[in-house]
Structure 1
């Protein structure tokens, strides 16, 4: 299921609900629908940036874990697993929030 984030400050951002959940949980927001007000945007940006920095520190551990899952049993053929980092997934919404912060606009979302 997709979520569309809307703001007067930037183009819409669409994201899978399962990927948006981690970001919205960090911000204490409901995944189904809600608003990040212009007043909340600066704190939201800081929170997401902090989580990106934290996730980058633990990237090597995630890569090793992924490699073990992909190659743990040599008798079976494995598809290569490509992960998308938290920072990559969060970037479009983070940019929207930065624009909302700078233009004093709200960010709203609902499930399509």
Structure 2
């Protein structure tokens, strides 16, 4: 399942639900089908993700799409928290500069 993060001023970002859930957990947000990171919550949210990356940014997060193998049947490479968090941090920073907010939406709670 895909989760769409939409900034009212900076574009959209799509993530697989397990990845989105892991990042929202760090932010202290519930993985509901719809949610918001308000303008007031952006700065602390960015700081929380950056602190999590600094504390353990190399630890892998779930692949998210259910794929555990590459086409040649070799194990898929792990993707770190830092790599998974970067696009969301970037979206939040761009949104913060414009005093915007971010909504997320999925077909159901995840």
Whether TM exceeds 0.5 here: the answer is yes
Structure 1 residues 77-97: Cα deviation after superposition (integer angstroms, max 9, x where no partner): x83441011111111111111
Q: Which ranges in structure 2 are unaligned for 5 or more consecutive residues?
A: 61-72
1:83 corresponding residue in structure 2: 78
RMSD: 1.8
Runs in 1 of length 4+ with deviation above 4 angstroms? Answer: none
1:9 touches 1:96 (CA, 8 Å); kept in 2?
no
2:106 corresponding residue in structure 1: 111
1:6 corresponding residue in structure 2: 6
Q: TM-score, normalised by structure 1?
A: 0.76
> What secondary structure is seen at the aligned counterpart in 2 of 1:39?
helix
1:49 corresponding residue in structure 2: 50
Q: Aligned pair 1:95/2:96, yes or no?
A: no
1:13 touches 1:93 (CA, 8 Å); kept in 2?
yes
Q: Which ranges in structure 1 are unaligned for 5 or more consecutive residues?
A: 64-77
Structure 1 residues 29-65: Cα deviation after superposition (integer angstroms, max 9, x where no partner): 1212200000000000000000011113xx4xx59xx
Which of the two has greater helix per residue?
Answer: 1
Q: TM-score, normalised by structure 2?
A: 0.78
Kindly tell me the number of residue pairs found equivalent between the two proteins. 94
Shift of 1:23: 0.9
Shift of 1:27: 1.2
